[in-house]
Amino acid sequence: MKVITNTGEILSEWIAACKLNQLKKGEMLDFDYKDKKILIANLAGKIYASDRICTHADADLSNGILTEDGVTCPLHLSTFNLKTGTPENLPAEIPLKIYNVKIEQNEIYIEVN
Ligand code: FES
C-alpha cells in the first residue's frame, strides 16, 4: 500500500522485506531498498526495523551484537534502542531512523518513506 499526496508524490509505502519464519529470535537481517540500508531484528519475538548504518562512523550494525537492550555497534560499541533508535551510550549521539513494521501472513513489511 502506498500513501500518495494529491500531487502524486509517494509519502510512504509498505515493502515486503522477508518471511517471518526466516528471522528467528535473536537474529538480524540486512534489507536494502533503493538507497536505504535497513536492519531487521527479532528481539525476543518482536520485530524491529531501523537504519543499518551506525550514526557515529559508518559501521554496519548487522555485524554488531543483538541483546535485550538493542543492537550494539561492532566498531565503537554504542548500543541503540531498537524501539526508539536512541543511542544508550557514547560515542554515538544521533538516533537511528526507526521504520514501522507490520506482519501479515508470515510476511514482514517495512514502511519506507
Ligand atoms: S561506528 Fe558505531 S559507535 Fe562508532
Among 53, 76, 81, residue to substitute to test ligand 1 (most atoms within 8 Å of Cβ): 76
Long-range Cβ pairs for the range 30-34 (8 Å, 24+): 30/60, 30/62, 31/110, 33/110, 33/112, 34/112
* Predicted TM-score of the model (pTM): 0.91
N-to-C CA span, the chain = 12
Centre of ligand 1 to C-alpha 51, Å, is: 13
**Cβ contact 22:31 at 8 Å:** no
In the DSSP assignment, the letter for residue 90 is: S
Convert the pLDDT of each residue in 3-33 to its tens digit: 666 777 767 899 999 999 999 999 999 999 9
Centre of ligand 1 to C-alpha 59, Å, is: 6
Atom in ligand 1 nearest the alpha carbon of residue 91: 3
- Residue 71 Cβ inside 6 Å of ligand 1? The answer reads no
Atom in ligand 1 nearest the alpha carbon of residue 73: 2
Q: What is the pLDDT of residue 1?
A: 64
Average pLDDT score over the chain = 94
Q: Give the chain's residues under pLDDT 50.
A: none
- Residue 76 Cβ inside 6 Å of ligand 1? The answer reads yes
Q: What is the pLDDT of residue 91?
A: 98
- Residue 62 Cβ inside 6 Å of ligand 1? The answer reads no
